[in-house]
A = this chain, B = another copy of it.
């Protein structure tokens, strides 16, 4: 009963867990870690005083430190839950205060540049095991987090080849206990996979919302009124945290530009079909994509239910959840 997915732990995995950055992800980890008995003690830090105050009001940590050093000292696991662009500076600032043998992890959406930013600063005794929980909502801040955010979502670990096996195993157990499925890959492959599954889709969503806002023939009020369906989903994506996404595109530049080029090439082909009135070609494109959707439902990353499976399961029953495909109408 100590490392199966989604079951409350009989004994904590670690002594002190330090969470740096208490936004959506950091505060969700704090809530989940407490609920699942992952750490004997949780310390937290956030660069914004207003966030620190809110963390105290909500009682999200045993100890909310006023400084990065104060949160990190004595911690067995330190998880950086901050924008990708801030990772290097945080690693530099906290390095002198790390306990010998501490495991340093993160939750960044980009991995190669994060590994490059952190590695030079860490003392030799520290273990780096980067992680990317592929989960999120369009909300930000400590009030937006919830313990169930990671349930049945993938968490990708990208440890260096030299990483100590025990440290990797500890972080794996950590994410299993939060309800995630865990996969291990190289940082560069991670960045390619995420470019096509998340980064380019987000860029496109932001872009179409911006295009609509700039129109003169169609008023913004009309855009808003008639946004049910397609566009509405795009605006939800486009409401995500601007700082996080700016950093994603600055730090996963090569993979994003590569995937964007392919998207543009395919879109030009679709555009040519419309111009030519090629109904058979359009029907084929629109049919092919249904198969992928079905694949996603079948592997349980999505349900056919009206609430999209969000927040429907309490954390400690995640493992007992019905496969989502059974609810498919």
Contact = CB atoms under 8 A, between A and B. Distances in A.
Contacts of A213: 288-289, 291-292
Given A263-B207, A271-B257, A289 B197 contact: no
Interface residues of A, number: 105
Interface of A: 85, 134-136, 138-139, 143-144, 153-154, 156, 183, 192-194, 196-215, 217-218, 220, 222-240, 242-243, 245-247, 249-250, 253, 256-257, 259-260, 262-264, 266-267, 270-271, 273-275, 277, 279, 282-283, 285-296, 299, 301-302, 304, 306-308, 310-311, 329
Contact of A230 (B198, B279, B290): B198
Contacts of A264: 264, 267
A51 to B, nearest CB: 16
B196 A236 contact: no
Nearest to A109: B229
Nearest to A132: B226
A289 B235 contact: yes
B250 A282 contact: yes
Contacts of A290: 238-239, 242
Given A230-B205, A253-B277, A293-B239, A262 B218 contact: no
Contacts of A153: 228
